[in-house]
Amino acid sequence: MAERNYKDTLNLPRTDFPMKANLPAREPELLKKWNEMGLYQQIQKAREGHELFVLHDGPPFANGDVHMGTALNKILKDLVVKSQTMLGKRAPYVPGWDCHGLPIEYKVVRESRDLSPLEVRKRCDAFARKYVDIQRQQFKRLGVLGDWEHPYLTLDPKYEAEILRAFAVFVEKDLVYQSKKPVFWSTGAQTALAEAEVEYQERDDTSVYVKFPIVGGKRSPNASGVDLPPNTSIAIWTTTPWTLPANLAIAVDPKEVYVVQEFRRDGVAETLLIADKLVAQFCANTKFEPTGEPLASFPGANIDQIKARHPFLDREAIVLIADFVTMDSGTGAVHIAPGHGEDDYNLGRANKLPILSPVDDHGKLTDEAGVPSLTGKYVFDANGDVVNLLRDHGNLLGARNFHHSYPYCWRSKTPIIFRNVEQFFIRIDELRPRALEAIHNEVRWVPAWGENRIAGTVESRPDWVISRQRSWGVPLPVFYSPEGKPILDAKVIRKLADLVAARGSNIWFELSDADLAKELGLPAGTTKRNDTIDVWIDSGVSHQAVCALHPELRDPADMYLEATDQHRGWFQSSLMTSIALKDRAPYKICVTHGFVVDVDGKKISKSGTYDKPMDAGHFVGKHGADLVRLWASSIDYTDDVPFSEEMFTRLGDTYRRIRNTLRILLGNLFDFPVGPPEVALASRQSSSRHRLEADATSETDPINLTLVDRWILGRLDEVIRECRAAYEAFEFHKVYHILNQFCAVDLSSLYVDITKDRMYCDETGSPRRRAAQAAMREIFTALCRLLAPVLAFTADEAWSYATTDHSVHLEEFPKTQDRGNEAIEQVAELLKLRAVIGQAIEKARQEKLIGNALEAAVVLQSSSEVTNQIDKTELEEFFILSDLTIEPGKETGATVTKTAYLKCARCWRHREYVGKSKTHPDLCDRCEGVVTKMAGPR
RNA sequence: GGGCCUGUAGCUCAGUUGGUUAGAGCAUGCGCUUGAUAAGCGCAGGGUCACUGGUUCGAGCCCAGUCAGGCCCA
C-alpha cells in the first residue's frame, strides 16, 4: 500500500503575493493608485506639525531625457526625503527645473536661423516646457514622490522677478561693476559666441618671430647676480600678428630654463633671450645660427617684472611669469594681449594691466591701436601690414606661413577673434571671506572632503561674470543714459521686477526703449540692451525664490544634494548669492555624489563614443524602477558610481531574494489571527489576504518565544538600529547590505528554514507555531517599512497584502524594542557548532552514507556551555536534525552515521517513535497527535 | 599642468586607535531537496589589499613616489 499522503494536513504557506515581480507592468499600476489617492499630499498632511526637513532640489536643465546620472541624483534625493519622512519628519519635496541658458537657445537657433530675440525666446520657452513635462514623467516613473504639479521653474515670471530683486540687492550693496572681458566674437554675425557655437577649420596664417628689446626695469634680475648682456631682446612668436598692437606683456614659465644667446643670420647679429628648449626650433624656422656659448642661463622666474620695448609702439611690455607657457612651439616667451585671449586676460587682470582691445564689432582695428595706417582695417587683412611694420622697425626676426586649425563662427563661417566686450561682474572679493567662513563653520559636508574642495574653488575663483550676450535668459537690468553711461539703480530694478512678475520677462524685448523707460519712470532717451543674466544666478538664487517664499519650505534648507561638479557650480553660486543677500549659507548639509562610470571605471560620456544605453527609461522599462532604485541604494555614492548590465543581473538576484523573503513571511502568516477576530476568521476562509495590524488584545494566549524566535527578534532590533542609523547618516548602501544580509542569511537560510517544521507540521494553533508567526509578523512589518524608501513599489505592494487601507509610505520606521542580546550570543555559539555539523554531514553525504540531512544521526562533541543551557529539542530544531546526541568534550567535533530511526511520513524527520503507534505506525509522536486532533471527534 | 578624490575576491561593499590565518552577500563549482519550486538548503574554491619604496617588532590601515580612473580648473 502506498504511503498515505499527509500533505493536506500541513499548514503550507499561502499567499497571493506573486513570486514574479513583473515590475515594468506592476509599477505603473501602483503609480496610478498613488496618484489617485494623492499619496504625497497625504504624507504631508500626516506630518503636519512635525519637525521640518527641507531637501532643496537643485534644478536639472530642462533639456533631453533623464539618463542614469540624473536618475541617480533624483533617486538619492528621494531616498533622503522618504527616509527622513519615515524617521518622523515632515520632508516636503518641491522639484524644480533650470530653464534658461545656452544649450536650449543653441538648439532652437540651430533649427531656424535669423529669428528675432523675442521669437527665439518664445521657442526656447516652449522647448523648456516640453522637456519639463518629459522629465517630470520620467522622474515620477522612478517612484520619486514630490509636489510634481507645482514645481519651480526658473522661467516662471515670479521666479524671474526674484532673480531681478536679488540683482537689485547686489547693486545696492555695490557688488556689481562693469568691466571688459574678451569673448569669442563673430565678426560676421557681430555677436558673442559660446564655445558650443564654435567650429574649427584649417587655415593658413602668417606666424612671426618678433623681438622686444629689453629696456629699464630690473636689468640684473638674476638671483645668481648675472647681468643680462646689453642689447638683449626677448624673442616672442605669434600666429596672430594683428594682436600685437594690443600687446602689453610677455609671459614666461618660472621654472623653465631661459638662455641669452647671440645669433647670426646673413651677417646680422642678434642677442636674444629665449627658452633653452626652443632654441633649435627657432633656428630651424628663422635660419638664425647660434654663435658661441649662451651668454647667460637662468630660470624664467629670474626675469619676472623686467621690461621690454614694444616692437613698433612707444610703449613697454612687462615680463610676467605664468603657468600656461608651453615648450611645444614658439620661444617660451609668450606675447600677451589681455584683450584678445583668455589666458592673456586672466594674467592681465591679475597684474592690473589694462584690457586693451582696439577692434570694433566688425573686426576692424580702431585708432586705439595707435597705428593710424591700420585704423579701419579688418584684422585678418592687417596681418601683412603688421609684418611690414615690424620689418620697418627692425624687430622682425622671421615670418612664415603657418597652417593650423582655427575657430570659425558656425553661422557666418567667418574666423573668430577674441575681443573685449563690456561685461558686468560681481565682486567676489567682497564675499569671499564670509563665504569661506560659512563653508568651514556653518555647513556639514558629506563626504567631508567636500569642504576642502569647495573652499579651494572659492579661494581661487575670479570675479563672477554675470552678463551674457544671449537672448534666452532674464534680461540684465542695466539701462544706458542718452550719453551711453550705464545706469545701475536698485529702485528701477525692483520696479522692473514687479513688471516682470506681472507680465513676464519678455516685456523687456517687447517694449521699445521709450515705452520701457516710461513704464519705469526713467528719463526719455534712456536705452536698454539685450544682454541677459548668467543662468548660474538663476539657479543660484533659488534659496530665495523657492525656499524662502514657498509656504512649506524654509530658508536655509537642510540639505542640497548634487553631483560633485556642483562644488564649483550650484553649491558655489548659491553660497555666493546667499552670502550677498543674507550673509549666511543657504544650506546646512551639502551632500555630493560621484558620476556614473562604466564597469571599467571609465567615464560614460554623453556625447562621446559610448554606445550602450544610458537612458534611465531603458532600464526602467527592462527591469523596473525598483531595480534602478536598488542600484542607486547599493553603491557608495560618495565615490564614482559603477554601472553595468552585470550589476543589474546581480541586483536582480538580490531583489528576488528580498521579494521571496517577503513572500514566504506572508505565506506563513496566512492564518495568523490578528486584528478583530472576525476579520481574521473571514480572511482566513475567503482568501490568504489578511490583516497584520498589531492588536495585542486579539492574542488570547501569551506567546512563549523559543530561542530562535528571541534570537531573530534580537537580530531584527539590531537591523532596525543599524538601518535607522544608516538612513540618518544618508549611508544608503549600508541599508542595502544590512537588509540583504538579513533576508538572505538570518531569515532565509536560518530562521525561515529552521521554523519550517513547526510552521508546516505543528498543529495550526500550537504555541510554538503562533510564536513564530508573531515574530514573523513583526519582522514582515518592520522589513517592509525599512525597505520602503529603497524598494518604493515592492514594499508598498507587499504591505498591501497585509493591510487594507494605507500605503507603507505613510508609516514611520519601526523602533527598536531593546530585547537584550542573550539569545544573539547563544545563537552565535550555536552557529559555530552548526558549521561543524554541516561539514560532517557534507562528508557523510559524499561518502553516500546519507542523502538528506534528516537521515543523519549526529553525535556532537561540544566544548560549549550553550549545549547545556539549551534544551535538546530546541537544538535539534536549530540544527534541523532528526537525531542528535550531545557529548560534552574539550574539543568541538561531530560524527555522522545513518540514523536507525524510521522516517515520519508527515514531517519527514526520522524519529524514535515512528513505527510504535498502532493507529499511525508511519508517524512520529508529534504528527500523530496533530493528525488525531484534526480528525477530531466524529 | 594644477586642485579635490578614488583604487580590498568576477560584482557590490565591510575591515574600529597599525596587532592572529583580510570578512560578508551575490556570482561560480559540487551536492541535497522538490512541502518558499521560474523557489529553498548545505559544502567548497576564489584575494601579492593597484604598484614601488619607507617608518615600525608588526602595515590593507601611517609616509613618499609611481600607475590607473573620476570631477573641477588651466
Instruction: Judge whether residue A341 contacts strand B, using its CB and a 7 Å cut-off.
Output: no
Of A198 and A22, the structure prediction assigns the larger pLDDT to A22
Instruction: Judge whether residue A593 contacts strand B, using its CB and a 7 Å cut-off.
Output: no
Span A241-251, average pLDDT? 84
Residues A356-374 as b/e (b if ≥16 CB within 10 A, e otherwise) read bbbbbeebbbeeebbbeeb
Whether A676 has a pLDDT exceeding 70, the answer reads no
Instruction: Judge whether residue A182 contacts strand B, using its CB and a 7 Å cut-off.
Output: no
pLDDT of residue A598: 81
- Binned at pLDDT 50, 70 and 90, residue A197 comes out as low
CA of A704 to C1' of B24 (A): 32
- The interface predicted TM-score of the complex, written ipTM, equals 0.96
DSSP-assigned beta bridge partners for residue A423: A179
Of A276 and A938, the structure prediction assigns the larger pLDDT to A276
Instruction: Judge whether residue A459 contacts strand B, using its CB and a 7 Å cut-off.
Output: no
Instruction: Judge whether residue A502 contacts strand B, using its CB and a 7 Å cut-off.
Output: no
User: Measuring from the CA of residue A749 to each C1', which nucleotide is nearest?
Assistant: B41
Query: What would the grid cell of residue A45 be?
Result: 498632511
pTM of the model: 0.88
* Cα gap A671→A641, rounded to integer Å: 44
Instruction: Judge whether residue A358 contacts strand B, using its CB and a 7 Å cut-off.
Output: no
Which chain B nucleotides are covered by protein, judged by CB under 7 A? 1-6, 10-14, 24-27, 31-44, 68-74
Phi, psi of A877 (to 5 degrees): -65, -45
Query: What would the grid cell of residue A489 be?
Result: 539703480
* Cα gap A836→A845, rounded to integer Å: 14
pLDDT of residue A184: 79
Which of A268, A262, A265, A275 is closest to A231 using CA atoms? A262
Residues lying close to strand B (Cβ under 7 A), chosen from 107-166 of chain A, are none
CA of A591 to C1' of B53 (A): 37
Q: How many CA atoms lie within 13 A of A166 on its CB side?
A: 31
pLDDT tens by residue, A336-354: 888 888 788 888 877 778 8
Residues 6+ apart with CB under 8 A from A363: A185, A187, A378, A379, A380, A414, A417, A419
CA of A924 to C1' of B41 (A): 23
Instruction: Judge whether residue A326 contacts strand B, using its CB and a 7 Å cut-off.
Output: no
* Cα gap A761→A769, rounded to integer Å: 9
* Cα gap A66→A72, rounded to integer Å: 10
DSSP-assigned beta bridge partners for residue A269: A264
What's the residue count for chain A? 938
* Range from A118-127, A172-181, A410-419, A761-770 carrying the lowest mean pLDDT: A410-419
Distance from first CA to last CA of chain A, Å, rounded? 25
pLDDT of residue A601: 65
pLDDT of residue A4: 61
3-class secondary structure for A316-370? EEEEEECCCCCCCCCCCEEEECCCCCHHHHHHHHHCCCCCCCCECCCCEECHHHC
Query: What would the grid cell of residue A779 be?
Result: 519582522
For A749: left if phi > 0, alpha if psi spans -120 to 50, otherwise beta; the answer is alpha
Residues lying close to strand B (Cβ under 7 A), chosen from 514-573 of chain A, are 564-565, 567-568
Closest amino acid to nucleotide B74 (CA–C1')? A324
CA of A104 to C1' of B46 (A): 52
Query: What would the grid cell of residue A698 be?
Result: 486579539
CA angle A415, A417, A419 (to 5 degrees): 155
Q: How many CA atoms lie within 13 A of A741 on its CB side?
A: 14
Residues lying close to strand B (Cβ under 7 A), chosen from 624-683 of chain A, are 634-636, 639-642, 644, 646-647, 650, 653-654, 656-657, 660-661, 663-664, 667
* Cα gap A658→A716, rounded to integer Å: 15
| Cα–Cα distances in angstroms (integers) from residue A854 to residues A752, A838, A850, A887, A898, in the given order | 17, 12, 9, 20, 9
Residues lying close to strand B (Cβ under 7 A), chosen from 749-768 of chain A, are 749-750, 752-753, 756, 760-761
Span A536-548, average pLDDT? 97
CB A229, CB A296: distance < 8 Å: yes
- Binned at pLDDT 50, 70 and 90, residue A195 comes out as low
pLDDT of residue A330: 80
3-class secondary structure for A514-546? HHHHHHCCCCCCCEECCCEECHHHHHHCHHHHH
Whether A735 has a pLDDT exceeding 60, the answer reads yes
CA of A660 to C1' of B27 (A): 19
CA of A595 to C1' of B71 (A): 8
Identify the three-state secondary structure at position A102.
helix
Of A52 and A465, the structure prediction assigns the larger pLDDT to A52
Instruction: Judge whether residue A694 contacts strand B, using its CB and a 7 Å cut-off.
Output: no
Closest amino acid to nucleotide B36 (CA–C1')? A664
CB A1, CB A920: distance < 8 Å: no
* Cα gap A416→A203, rounded to integer Å: 12
- Binned at pLDDT 50, 70 and 90, residue A261 comes out as confident
Instruction: Judge whether residue A203 contacts strand B, using its CB and a 7 Å cut-off.
Output: no
* Cα gap A480→A486, rounded to integer Å: 4
User: Measuring from the CA of residue A661 to each C1', which nucleotide is nearest?
Assistant: B36
Query: What would the grid cell of residue A759 be?
Result: 510552521
Instruction: Judge whether residue A838 contacts strand B, using its CB and a 7 Å cut-off.
Output: yes
Instruction: Judge whether residue A342 contacts strand B, using its CB and a 7 Å cut-off.
Output: yes
Closest amino acid to nucleotide B70 (CA–C1')? A640
* Range from A240-244, A474-478, A538-542, A927-931 carrying the lowest mean pLDDT: A240-244
User: Measuring from the CA of residue A760 to each C1', which nucleotide is nearest?
Assistant: B35
Residues 6+ apart with CB under 8 A from A837: A858, A860, A879, A881, A894, A896
Span A524-530, average pLDDT? 90
CA of A147 to C1' of B22 (A): 48
Which of A878, A874, A882 is closest to A832 using CA atoms? A878
* Range from A715-724, A863-872, A898-907 carrying the lowest mean pLDDT: A863-872
Identify the three-state secondary structure at position A68.
helix
CA of A322 to C1' of B1 (A): 12
CA of A638 to C1' of B50 (A): 20
Cβ-defined contacts of A195-198 (< 8 Å, 24+): A196/A102, A196/A103, A196/A106, A197/A106, A197/A409, A197/A410, A197/A411, A198/A407, A198/A408, A198/A409, A198/A410, A198/A416
Residues 6+ apart with CB under 8 A from A68: A596, A604, A614, A615, A616, A619, A643
Instruction: Judge whether residue A907 contacts strand B, using its CB and a 7 Å cut-off.
Output: yes
CB A887, CB A837: distance < 8 Å: no
CA of A367 to C1' of B17 (A): 72
